[in-house]
Every structure is written in C-alpha cells, then in structure tokens.
Amino acid sequence: MQNGILKGVTGIIDAILGVTSIGKTSPHYRHKEACDQLHRVPLKNFADELLEKVDDQIKKNWKARPREEPPSDKNWRFQPKRSIAKKNPSLEIQLQRAVVNINQKMWPDAENWTNHVPTASGLWDHKCDKHRAIDLVHVRPGQNRYDTVEFIELKVDRKSGHPVYAAIEVLLYGVLYIFSRRHLEELRYDGTKQPLLQAKTIHLVVLAPCAYYDGCQFEWLEKEITKGLKEFIQESEGYTMDFKFQAFPRDFSVEESIRDGALIKEALIEVAPVGWTV
C-alpha cells in the first residue's frame, strides 16, 4: 500500500500478529498459513496495542495528506446501491445487492439494510480509499433510527480471505469509524449526511456460511478484539463497539438466496453466532 489513509497499517498488524515471516506478499495476515498459525497459537492482549498503533498511524497519515479538502460526504451514508451489472461475477456483490433488494412489503426490516458504505473516501486524496466500503450495514432502531448498527464484512467462501483476514478488514472499518467520530468537526461531518455516526452501539460482524469457519477455532479472537475495543473507546465518548463472527444457517445456499428474496430473508433472520468446532 503506497498511499492512502491506511498507509503503513498492514506492517503494524503483521508485526503484532507475529506473521511477518509468512508468505512473500503483504499483508502477511492474509495468507492461509497465518490463519492456521493463529488458530493453533492464540494471542493474548494484542488488540490494545493494535488499536493504539493503527489509530496513531491513521492520525499521522491524516496530517500528512497531500490535500486540504474535506473527505467525501458519502462516507458513513445510509443509501442502498440496488443496481448491479448483469455480468458481475462476484457472488459477494450479488448477495449484497440481493439483501438490499428484498421486498419491503414482504419483510419490513428490509428498509434497515444498506450496502457498500464508504468509510474513507477523500481522507487522503480524491483517488485513494474509494474501495474501503462496508459490505452491509444493518440498523436496529431504538429511540433514534441509528442507535444500534451492525457493520458486516460479508464472505461467501475463503477465496476472498479467511476468518482472520475478514476480522481485520471489519476491525479497520471500526478504527476508521472511531477516528471519524473523534474528528467530526475537522472532517466536517454532520448527523444528517453521516447518520451512522450517531450510533450508540456498534457491532462489527463477519458473516459467512457455516462452512467458511470449518476447521477453525476463533472464539478467542472475538473476545480479545471486543476487550480491546472496550478499553480503547472511552465511556465519555458515548458509544460502545464489539466484534463477533456470525454464520448463516447450515443449509444456506448463496446461489439460491441471490435468486430468491424470501430465502435470504429467512437466512438473515436465522443468522447466529458461530458454533466453533474443529
């Protein structure tokens, strides 16, 4: 990663996870061998250091940005992208769009889902970080519509990354969220254009079919990341954040759900914590 708001971050994460010697390319934590190592040898108290150092690097990058203009006002928006190219080969993209296209008359909660939410567009310059977008966001209205939100990293198989890599992806979105709330005025964000920044409870989620987690045991990773977030976010900031792995029902079919809104509705209703087995 040459430039962008997360410049230098992958090296920090590789070092803290102890995987710099795995694979020939960065990020090293993306390699399957890194997942295997962390499955066999859990880490303790790593998230505190990771969050502090990544946040410091983001702040350094923000100060060193090549232009002074504010970031895109599309960051942290709640605006579904319902269309998709007919020949788009990505099952993940197709599944995202299928979720936000569920008939709201069939399922009223469909209005509380959005997809491809930008998080960092324009934080460095007008070119970098446009791809840093959360796959799915689900709001659970309380007194305010955006009181509780789920930021979801969606996976359909391990071709686009194993559980550790997916966890780090959504965690980085969480750190960008924290940075955004701590620098609201400087970033010129407001509660109208960036309504997700009003949340009181944020759940970071990796969501995938049950088979995606087979052969892994990462209950420890859920607990360590959540503990780190609890310590990193001060009570005075007015919100909390945690992390979890979740799974679709065992009989969930990606291809069938993409074609049938009723099937994906039922699958989303039945999403549950991962029952870790090896």
Beta bridge partners of 153: 206
**Across residues 9-34, what is the average pLDDT?**
96
- The reported pLDDT for the residue numbered 278 is 61
The conformational region for residue 212 under phi > 0 = left, psi -120 to 50 = alpha, else beta, is alpha
- In angstroms, the CA 71 to CA 190 distance is 12
Tokens found for residue 112: 């509380």
Q: Is residue 47 part of a domain?
A: no
User: Distance from CA of residue 266 to its chain's centroid?
Assistant: 22
- The reported pLDDT for the residue numbered 192 is 85
Q: Is residue 12 part of a domain?
A: no
- The reported pLDDT for the residue numbered 89 is 78
Question: Taking 80 as the threshold, does the pLDDT of residue 86 lie above it?
Answer: no
When pLDDT is cut at 50, 70 and 90, the band that residue 84 belongs to is confident
- The reported pLDDT for the residue numbered 169 is 98
- The reported pLDDT for the residue numbered 5 is 94
- In angstroms, the CA 181 to CA 84 distance is 31
Q: Is residue 77 part of a domain?
A: yes
**Across residues 235-243, what is the average pLDDT?**
97
Q: Is residue 159 part of a domain?
A: yes
Question: Taking 80 as the threshold, does the pLDDT of residue 88 lie above it?
Answer: no
Cite the DSSP H helix spans in the chain. 9-17, 32-40, 47-63, 91-100, 163-182, 184-187, 219-232, 254-259, 261-269
Give the angle 207-211-213 at the CA atoms, nearest 5°.
60
Which is higher by pLDDT, 213 or 87?
213
- The residue range of the domain holding 264 is 70-273
134 and 173 Cβ atoms separated by less than 8 Å: yes
Q: Is residue 110 part of a domain?
A: yes
- In angstroms, the CA 189 to CA 180 distance is 8
- The reported pLDDT for the residue numbered 191 is 79
Q: Which residue has the tokens 């071709």?
A: 159
**Across residues 187-215, what is the average pLDDT?**
94
Query: What type of residue sits at position 246?
Result: Q
Least confident of 3-12, 119-128, 200-209, 239-248: 119-128
Of the candidates 274, 266, 261, 212, the one whose C-alpha atom is nearest the C-alpha of residue 104 is 261
**Across residues 113-125, what is the average pLDDT?**
94
Q: Is residue 48 part of a domain?
A: no
Encode pLDDT of 134-150 as tens digits: 999 999 988 889 999 99
- The reported pLDDT for the residue numbered 190 is 87
- The reported pLDDT for the residue numbered 39 is 95
- In angstroms, the CA 140 to CA 147 distance is 7
Question: Taking 90 as the threshold, does the pLDDT of residue 113 lie above it?
Answer: yes
- In angstroms, the CA 208 to CA 86 distance is 23
Q: Is residue 173 part of a domain?
A: yes
> What does DSSP say about strands 201-208 and 240-247: parallel, antiparallel, or unpaired?
parallel
DSSP labels for 131-172?
Answer: T-EEEEEEEE-SSSTTSEEEEEEE-SSGGG--HHHHHHHHHH
How large a percentage of the chain has pLDDT more than 90?
Answer: 85
When pLDDT is cut at 50, 70 and 90, the band that residue 87 belongs to is low
The long-range contacts involving 129-135, CB below 8 angstroms and separated by at least 24 positions, are: 129/4, 129/5, 129/6, 132/5, 132/6, 132/172, 132/173, 132/176, 134/170, 134/173, 135/92, 135/96
Q: Which residue has the tokens 């410049």?
A: 7
**Across residues 170-177, what is the average pLDDT?**
98
Which is higher by pLDDT, 277 or 181?
181
Encode pLDDT of 93-111 as tens digits: 999 999 999 999 999 999 9
Q: Is residue 148 part of a domain?
A: yes
Rounded to 5 degrees, φ, ψ at 60 are: -65, -45
Mean pLDDT of the chain: 94
**Across residues 226-248, what is the average pLDDT?**
97
- In angstroms, the CA 223 to CA 245 distance is 11
**Across residues 19-48, what is the average pLDDT?**
96
- The reported pLDDT for the residue numbered 40 is 95
The total number of structural domains in the chain stands at 1
Q: Which residue has the tokens 């502090």?
A: 52
Least confident of 67-81, 147-161, 206-220: 67-81
- In angstroms, the CA 59 to CA 240 distance is 21
